[in-house]
Amino acid sequence: MSDQAYDVVVVGSGAGGAMAAHTLTKLGKRVLMLEAGRDYDPVTETPMFNSPADAPLRGAPTPDKNFGYYDATVDGGWEVPGEPYTMADNTEFKWWRARMLGGRTNHWGRYSLRFSHHDFKGFSRDGFGADWPFEYDELAPWYDRTEELVGVCGTNTGLDDMPDSSPDILMPPPKPRVPELLVAAAAGKLGIPAAPMHRAILTRPKDDRAACFWATQCGRGCSIGAAFQTTTSLIPMAKATGLLTVQTDAMVRSVEVDAQGRAEAVTYIDRKTGAPRTVAAPVVVLAASACESARILLNSKSEQHPQGLANRSGQVGRNLMDSTGANMSAVIPALKGRPIYNEDGHTANHLFLPWWGHDMQARGELDFARGYHFEMSTGFKPPGGYYPEKLQGYGVEMKRRARFDYGSQISLALRGEMVPNADCYMEIDDAVTDRWGIPVAKFHWKWSEQELNQVRHGLATARDIFKLLGADVPDELPDPAEAIKKGGEIIHEVGTTRMGTSPKDSVTNQWGQAWDCDNLFVMDGGVFASNPHKNCTLTIMTLTMRNASWLAEQLNKGAIA
């Protein structure tokens, strides 16, 4: 066992782990961060300006580089070599893992929408899933602090699904693009509002980070720090306190407990040597991502915790949720033949369509309980993979037609809330271990009618918007069961160690503290009691900032010895 002294051992360096380490070190606590992936420095390793011509297959996606050759995920993806997971019969579940310092924050889309007062008490309203153990007002000041620290651009809209930030917290958003304004106008005719997307992108300089210059692909990472990733912000800031030690290539296997069943150490495999190591841990914070943290708990069986650590309720691994997803695209006649000008912006959409249906749901007019929003993809690019087939011919005339159609396609991507159901969960597959000898996760998944009805509604809405824009789209809609993305595919998996008010049906209390083990905390999306449609990561960081502050207070008071 190591003789180095830390107040807290944090597992993971992504949104949750880095925010935990940042908060704790700023409050004077000594932190050891254990990260399974390799060290990564976006300042020197980000291929921001490389040309597609310099990459194999012109940078196109391949099975081991799912989002293209230059994607920021230098280690990881839908498959991690030597680290499989298994699925039950009839389950299709996709699990994106990034094995690198900063985790998935090096690549994420940076959409950063607050949950609203609608989102914390869904069960009380419609009887599905579970309530959170607090209301929106409890998190509001922490959202402000997180948005300010992280740097989020957007606008206060006054819409009831998009709570306002306090004055001067948000950075100004970029201007909407022409195709986005067209969608906004068409959606407006259907009573659907449009709003600036909130994104963790700096539009003004902040600390050592520069403002976005609207020119490169955020998915490659951002060496100037404009796009938020923990490797250019929270981790260096925490290191600057002198209180953070980072150990990369440390694949945590289990949390060890003492005779009373309290956490006392963490065992990890040194990925460089394959040797197991154990480090003393007065307090453990698991932030390895929802399914990895649940896996660690389920693999931490002991006499005191025979079902796995913190699992007396049997809820670890249960209540697994992702966002729903479905896409629809159309070519818009009004966008054909427009002059080509610079419309780049910060990679993703500047406007989006927030959920507008709370009142309809309250009146019982919809056959699904929870909302969704539309993200948009527009801009000067060829209109879709089918296009070369339609573009027959050669020479000057073919080039003229291709230029004419350039930038005329719009895609609407639905992102919706699912309700947890008994068919969606993960457990340990005792028959399979990874290359480190650690038993792997096994997934079970089935969408319910709630999600299929929601997607049906979303596809009909997208079709109606496109029709108003004069697009040639079929009346007949795709089957929602075919159109809906696979479980896990939207990469918003949460809920596997949910928080609540009772140890009978939840894993942690409102502070992310395990009911069964007072010096063990979970600070990732595992603790979510529900999965509102507004992309989970801002709330992971906000909740972590709040809960790590509470943890530091308890340590100061000696309440967690």
Ligand X SMILES: Cc1cc2nc3c(=O)[nH]c(=O)nc-3n(C[C@H](O)[C@H](O)[C@H](O)COP(=O)(O)OP(=O)(O)OC[C@H]3O[C@@H](n4cnc5c(N)ncnc54)[C@H](O)[C@@H]3O)c2cc1C
Binding site for ligand X (CB under 6 A): 11-17, 34-37, 96, 98-99, 103-105, 107-111, 250-252, 287-289, 292, 296, 491-492, 524-525, 535-537, 540
CB of 326 to ligand X, least distance (A): 16
Contact flag: residue 386 with ligand SF4 (CB under 6 A): no
Nearer to ligand SF4, 216 or 233 (CB): 216
- Give the CA count within 13 Å in the CB-facing half-sphere of 367: 8
The size of the interface with ligand SF4 (CB under 6 A), counted in residues, is: 13
Closest CA to 494 of 439, 546, 415, 419: 419
Beta-carbon contacts of 117 under 8 Å, excluding residues fewer than 6 positions away, are 135, 136, 137, 160, 163
Task: By CB under 6 A, tell whether 226 contacts ligand SF4.
Answer: yes
Opening angle at CA 499, ends 417 and 170, nearest 5: 60
Residue 76 identity: G
99 binds, among ligand SF4, ligand X, none (CB under 5 to 8 A by kind): ligand X
347 binds, among ligand X, ligand SF4, none (CB under 5 to 8 A by kind): ligand SF4
349 binds ligand SF4 (CB under 6 A): no
Q: Quickly list H helices, 39-164.
A: 42-45, 122-126, 136-150
Smallest distance, Å, CB 223 to ligand SF4? Answer: 8
Query: Contact between 346 and ligand SF4 (CB under 6 A)?
Result: yes
HEC profile of 328-392: EEEECHHHCCCCCCCCCCCCCCCEEECCCCHHHHHCCCCCCCCCEEEEEECCCCCCCCCHHHHCC
109 contact, one of ligand X, ligand SF4, none, CB 5-8 Å limit per kind: ligand X
Residue 226 interacts with, from ligand SF4, ligand X, none (CB under 5-8 Å by kind): ligand SF4
Residues 205 to 224: which contact ligand SF4 by CB under 6 A? 212-216, 218, 222, 224
Radius of gyration (C-alpha) of the chain in whole angstroms: 23
**By C-beta, is 352 or 356 nearer to ligand SF4?**
352
Q: How far apart are the first and last CA of the chain?
A: 20
CA 491 to each of CA 78, 289, 323, 481: distance values in angstroms, whole numbers, following the listed order: 10, 11, 8, 19
In the DSSP assignment, the letter for residue 176 is P
Q: Which is nearer to ligand SF4, 224 or 428 (CB)?
A: 224
Does the protein bind ligand SF4 through residue 530 (CB under 6 A)?
no
In the complex, what is the shortest distance from the CB of residue 61 to ligand X, in angstroms, rounded to a whole number?
12
344, with CB counted inside 10 A (0-12, 13-18, 19+), is middle
CB of 456 to ligand X, least distance (A): 24
200 binds ligand SF4 (CB under 6 A): no
Closer residue to ligand SF4 in complex, CB, 47/317: 47
The burial of 370, by beta-carbon neighbours within 10 Å (0-12 exposed, 13-18 middle, 19 or more buried), is given as buried
Closest CA to 510 of 482, 465, 546: 546
Report the relative pairing of strands 351-352 and 372-377 from DSSP bridges.
unpaired
Our finding on whether 182 is near ligand SF4 (CB under 6 A) is: no
If binding is defined by CB under 6 A, does position 347 make contact with ligand SF4? Answer: yes
The minimum distance between CB 402 and ligand X, in angstroms, equals 29
Is 218 or 353 the residue whose CB approaches ligand SF4 more closely? 218
**CB nearer to ligand SF4: pick between 232 and 510:** 232
Question: Does 254 interact with ligand SF4 (rule: CB under 6 A)?
Answer: no
Residue 346 binding partner per list ligand SF4, ligand X, none, with a CB distance cut-off of 5 to 8 Å that depends on partner kind: ligand SF4
Is residue 49 at the binding interface for ligand SF4, with CB under 6 A as the rule? no
Pick one of 187, 227, 251, 560: the residue that binds ligand SF4 (CB under 6 A): 227
User: Which of ligand X, ligand SF4, none does residue 96 bind (CB under 5 to 8 Å by kind)?
Assistant: ligand X
Please choose which of ligand SF4, ligand X, none residue 107 contacts, taking the beta carbon within 5 to 8 angstroms, the exact cut-off set by kind.
ligand X
Binding partner of residue 74 among ligand X, ligand SF4, none, CB cut-off 5 to 8 Å per kind: none
Residue 216's binding partner among ligand X, ligand SF4, none (Cβ under 5 to 8 angstroms by kind) is ligand SF4
Long-range CB contact pairs, 243-246, < 8 A, 24+: 243/24, 243/25, 243/28, 243/29, 243/30, 243/31, 244/21, 244/25, 244/31, 244/33, 245/4, 245/6, 245/30, 245/31, 245/32, 245/33, 246/13, 246/33, 246/35, 246/39, 246/101
When the beta carbons of 199 and 456 are compared against ligand X, the nearer one is 199
Q: Does 197 bind ligand SF4 (CB under 6 A)?
A: no
Residue nearest to ligand X (CB): 14
Q: What residues contact residue 416 under an 8 Å CB cut-off, 6+ apart?
A: 323, 324, 325, 370, 371, 372, 373, 451, 454, 455, 458, 533
Q: Which does 171 bind (CB under 5 to 8 A by kind): ligand X, ligand SF4, none?
A: none
One-letter amino acid identity for 18?
A: A
> For residue 340, which of 304, 308, 381 has the smallest C-alpha distance?
381
Report the C-alpha gap between 466 and 151 in whole angstroms.
34
Least distance to ligand X, CB of residue 169, Å: 18
**Minimum CB distance to ligand X, residue 389 (Å):** 28
Closer by beta carbon to ligand X, 506 or else 537? 537
In the complex, the smallest distance separating the C-beta of residue 105 from ligand SF4, rounded to whole angstroms, is: 13
CA distance 332 to 144: 39
CA distance linking residue 433 with residue 247, whole number of Å: 23
Contact in structure between 560 and 399 (CB atoms under 8 Å)? no
Phi, psi of 411 (to 5 degrees): -115, 135
By CB under 6 A, residue 442 contacts ligand SF4: no
Provide the minimum distance between the beta carbon of 218 and ligand X in the complex, in angstroms, as a whole number: 10
Residue 14: contacted member of ligand X, ligand SF4, none (CB under 5 to 8 Å, by partner type): ligand X
Q: Does 421 bind ligand SF4 (CB under 6 A)?
A: no
Residue labelled with tokens 């980000």: 46
Q: Does 24 bind ligand SF4 (CB under 6 A)?
A: no
Residues 217-232: b if buried by 16+ CB within 10 A, e if exposed: bbbbbbbbbbbbbbbb
CB of 202 to ligand X, least distance (A): 16
Q: Tokens 């000008």 correspond to what residue?
A: 341
Binding stretches for ligand SF4 (CB under 6 A): 201, 212-216, 218, 222, 224, 226-227, 346-347
